[in-house]
Structure 1
Amino acid sequence: MEDQLRLFVEETSWYNDLVLGAMLPEKWWAPLPHFYRGWLRNYIGGTLLYMVSGILWCFYIYYLKRNVYLPKDAIPTRKAMLLQIKVAMKAMPWYCALPTISEYMIEHGWTKCFPRISDVGFAQYLSYICVYLIIVEFGIYWMHRELHDIKPLYKYLHATHHIYNKQNTLSPFAGLAFHPLDGILQAVPHVVALFLVPMHFTAHIALLFLEALWTANIHDCIHGQVWPVMGAGYHTIHHTTYRHNYGHYTIWMDWMFGTLRDPLEDDAKKI
């Protein structure tokens, strides 16, 4: 057990050295305790991922491919995108507390995480990831749905995100434009799953940060039509009806619990 915990600490320390060493003078971060180094690394990494992916994504779909993926009247204004960036950046320091706390719990042996794939074998590794993702999908669906159904939660938390309720107000930058507590609550299932199923540590960290890319994807209003993926077409409907398509990666939870609305069927009705 001690050897496993040491491997977790070594891995997070390597991440810290890699990111902080590349971005900041060592004298600024070397005196910090390990926990705060982790938070600072997560903050820098999360901010870079959000800004770089958002800028490249928007440049491609709104400028290089202007009027190819979206009609001109569906492209958000710069003002709308800057507002989304402002909301996301105010929340980013708080968002980064969650992966930092999850790393702390993992490093202290409170979860079922394991450090190496060889600890369980590749087949078990894949099966654990599948179970982990099912738990995450279920948890995010119900967390998201309750943020709508419980009126105070919607009014004081989730409504911050739902001011973006039309195609021409949604953009990849809206993906993290939440009240800080709202964003954290919707990511909590990733951490809860660590106590329920064995999970590879590196895969957990990667999936947490891939959330930023995924949420950018489902807010770009471009329907990819890849079953059973909960793509942007489904999520755009969520922003316009408020009562459908609460799911995260797939449509399965909405299908199971009766809240699925298909964008292709909606388009067919309009013709």
Structure 2
Amino acid sequence: MAAAAHGGGGGAEYSVLFREETGWYNEIFLSAVVPGDWWRALPHPLQSWLRNGVGAYLIYFLTGFLWCFVIYYWKRHAYIPKDSIPTLEAMKKQIIVASKAMPFYSALPTISEYMIESGWTRCFFHISEVGWPMYLVYVALYLTFVEFGIYWMHRELHDIKPLYKHLHATHHIYNKENTLSPFAGLAFHPLDGILQAIPHVFALFLVPTHFRTHIALLFLEAVWTTNIHDCIHGKIWPVMGAGYHTIHHTTYRHNYGHYTVWMDWLFGTLREPEDIFKKD
């Protein structure tokens, strides 16, 4: 089995482990949240797409509503100035845009799972196949590739005018503190959202990747985008927090990075948060 971690596939017997794993995800999750058992008649990829879709909606709404409750109501004077709280109408529009795109977003993890199950990637199933030291090295390489890929994908969505006009502009109608909210995090044109997440899939062909870690990191995207659109500057270097990302939404030419500021620093597009994003 160790060969599968480095060469991809490892044979049909090894690939069935991934299919059994995703089948288990489908059984546990869908039986708990979907009424009836009609979904069991669906082909396996459609079951996975349904599970990914329902999971994405739940993560989006649970994290969005919870965080909005905390920062706009419960702790509203601690984090956000009163004149910076987005209107209910702005948040409603963001929810509508994200909700329409969610079924398309859910296709990406479904496709990545299918490719893994088919033995086309360098995914491995057990951490013991490579050992913890190499697992950590591979996670670091995976995240570095994703950081690089998302930075340049995001930057080109700005620099290539047709891509910006027809795709990325949908997200950038939210460009001020009083229009940005946690719900803006997934308010993209569907193809835009897929393009910005697709480095997670490309990485699977280049870096040996632990399957469950890949699935967890894909869904972490939904939580992370909630965080960086809340306009609260956490000041945890080198994290690309909301203070940096709010600058991106106001200048359009800085802070394209994802989890960290390193790519912006490396390629000359970093701008530090000003005092306007800090709480006195």
Q: TM-score, normalised by structure 2?
A: 0.94
Report the Cα distance in structure 1 between the residues aligned to 2:236 and 2:31, rounded to whole angstroms.
40
Tell me what 2:255 maps to.
245
Tell me what 1:93 maps to.
103
Tell me what 1:175 maps to.
185
Report the Cα distance in structure 2 between the residues aligned to 1:152 and 1:174, rounded to whole angstroms.
22
SS in structure 2 opposite 1:168?
coil
**Which ranges in structure 1 are unaligned for 5 or more consecutive residues?**
none
Does 2:178 correspond to 1:164?
no
Question: In 1, are the aligned partners of 2:240 and 2:257 still within 8 Å (CA)?
Answer: yes
Tell me what 1:152 maps to.
162
SS in structure 2 opposite 1:36?
helix
| Offset of residue 240 of structure 1 | 0.1
- Give the 5 Å matches for 1:93-242: 93-242=103-252
| Offset of residue 3 of structure 1 | 3.1
Report the Cα distance in structure 2 between the residues aligned to 1:76 and 1:226, rounded to whole angstroms.
24
Tell me what 2:7 maps to.
none
Deviations 1:180-234 (A, max 9, x none): 0000000000000000000000000000000000000000000000000000000
| Cα distance, 1:151–1:39 mapped onto 2, change above 3 Å | same
Q: Counterpart amino acid of 2:182? A: P
| Offset of residue 267 of structure 1 | 6.7
Does 2:88 correspond to 1:78?
yes
Tell me what 2:66 maps to.
56
Q: Counterpart amino acid of 1:56? A: L
SS in structure 1 opposite 2:79?
coil
Question: In 2, are the aligned partners of 1:140 and 1:247 still within 8 Å (CA)?
Answer: yes
**Which ranges in structure 2 are unaligned for 5 or more consecutive residues?**
1-9
| Offset of residue 10 of structure 1 | 1.0
Tell me what 2:4 maps to.
none
| Cα distance, 1:266–1:259 mapped onto 2, change above 3 Å | farther
1:13 to 20, 23, 39: 23
1:4 to 14, 19, 28: 14
Question: In 2, are the aligned partners of 1:4 and 1:114 still within 8 Å (CA)?
Answer: no
Q: TM-score, normalised by structure 1?
A: 0.97
Report the Cα distance in structure 2 between the residues aligned to 1:113 and 1:91, rounded to whole angstroms.
28
Runs of 4+ residues deviating >2 angstroms? 1-4, 264-268
Deviations 1:25-78 (A, max 9, x none): 343201000000000000000000000110000000000001210100010011
Question: In 2, are the aligned partners of 1:222 and 1:232 still within 8 Å (CA)?
Answer: yes
SS in structure 2 opposite 1:141?
helix
Report the Cα distance in structure 2 between the residues aligned to 1:202 and 1:267, rounded to whole angstroms.
36
Q: Counterpart amino acid of 1:15? A: Y
Aligned residues: 269
Percent sequence identity over matched residues?
71
Does 2:37 correspond to 1:27?
yes
Report the Cα distance in structure 1 between the residues aligned to 2:173 and 2:77, rounded to whole angstroms.
24
Report the Cα distance in structure 1 between the residues aligned to 2:264 and 2:193, rounded to whole angstroms.
20
Question: In 2, are the aligned partners of 1:223 and 1:231 still within 8 Å (CA)?
Answer: yes
SS in structure 1 opposite 2:25?
helix
Report the Cα distance in structure 2 between the residues aligned to 1:128 and 1:265, rounded to whole angstroms.
38
